């Protein structure tokens, strides 16, 4: 199972936003720079995270983004379910599969996917950033590198 880049960047965005003080704001360009990725891609990702209520977006001259919920209240499995555009491990319709009517693979993969998501639902955002003291210097180094 491989998450889409969209979901990957969504999770990374949430992880990064835990590294800044709750009252401080970040920005889409800042997050994109930290991960050395397309700002346009992060606009879409952060827009969806905002729509889903995980990120608060504040408009205006002094605006920016921050977590909309406490890290303890953000369930990683739920985030994955909401960000992934499809959770089917295989697409039996394109091209049309000759064995689809009696194939057990799709069912087995669906059960495995559900087991994966159920396991991920055991983790909050706080759980996956419990090593913040190790993560923050890495994010900061990437930002500093972008300034040179």
- Those residues whose C-beta lies under 8 Å from the C-beta of residue 42, and which sit 6 or more positions away, are 9, 13, 28, 31, 32, 35
Helix (H) or strand (E) holding 58: strand 55-58
Q: Is the dihedral of CA 134, 131, 81, 115 positive or negative?
A: positive
Count structural domains, the chain.
1
- The CB-side HSE value for 33 (13 A sphere, CA atoms) comes to 14
Q: How many CB atoms sit inside 10 A of residue 91's CB?
A: 10
Is residue 25 a contact partner of residue 66, using CB atoms and an 8 Å limit? yes
pTM of the entire predicted model: 0.85
- Note the pLDDT of residue 35: 93
pLDDT in tens, the chain (148 residues): 678 999 999 999 999 999 988 889 999 999 999 999 999 999 999 999 999 999 999 998 889 999 999 999 999 999 999 999 777 767 777 777 888 788 888 889 889 999 999 999 999 999 999 988 788 787 776 666 655 4
Enclosing domain of residue 119: 5-147
CA angle 85–90–93, rounded 5-degree value: 95
- Note the pLDDT of residue 97: 83
CATH of the domain at 48: 1.10.10.10
Q: How many CB atoms sit inside 10 A of residue 9's CB?
A: 23
């Amino acid at each position: 199972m491989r998450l889409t880049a969209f979901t990957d960047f969504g999770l990374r965005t949430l992880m990064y936003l835990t590294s800044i003080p709750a009252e401080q704001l970040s920005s889409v360009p800042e997050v994109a720079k930290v991960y050395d990725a397309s700002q346009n891609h992060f606009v879409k990702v952060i827009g969806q995270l905002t729509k889903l209520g995980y990120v608060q977006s504040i408009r205006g001259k002094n605006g920016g983004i921050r977590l909309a919920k406490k890290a303890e209240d953000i369930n990683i499995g739920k985030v994955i379910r909401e960000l992934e555009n499809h959770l089917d491990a295989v697409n039996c319709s394109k091209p049309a599969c000759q064995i689809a009517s009696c194939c057990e693979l799709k069912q087995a993969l669906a059960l495995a996917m559900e087991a994966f998501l159920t396991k991920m639902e055991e983790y909050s955002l706080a759980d996956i950033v419990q090593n913040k003291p190790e993560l923050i210097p890495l994010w900061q180094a990437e930002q500093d590198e972008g300034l040179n």
